[in-house]
Homo-oligomer: A and B are copies of this chain.
């Protein structure tokens, strides 16, 4: 079961606007770090460190695909996480725009 530590870490991970935006974006589709850098207009190390926090809190999973690392939503440990995701502001247009600008990564 969940203990105090895990529950606090979960909420700390979500206590940041940038990470909330990242999770909202991942609802639309899996994204790699360089795509998130474009979407968030942040430096690459900043994004990587946010992803580490989300990963440590078990909210995202990573998979290596060629030279890219793609992140996807997880959160299966937290029964309220799915409900929470639904309440996030919609960011799907930002991903449409990314594609329109030809910045979506194509693997092989």
Contacts and interface: CB of A to CB of B under 8 A. Distances in A.
Contact of A80 (B1, B3, B16, B84): B84
16 contacts: A2-B89, A3-B89, A4-B17, A4-B20, A7-B14, A7-B87, A8-B16, A9-B15, A11-B20, A12-B12, A14-B15, A15-B15, A79-B83, A79-B87, A80-B80, A83-B83
Contact of A20 (B8, B13, B15, B21): B8
Contacts of A16: 8
Contact of A2 (B4, B13, B87): B87
Contact of A11 (B1, B2, B11): B11
A5 interface: yes
Contacts of A80: 80, 83-84, 87
Interface of A: 1-5, 7-9, 11-17, 20-21, 78-80, 83-84, 87-89
A25 to B, nearest CB: 13
Contact of A7 (B3, B5, B79, B88): B88
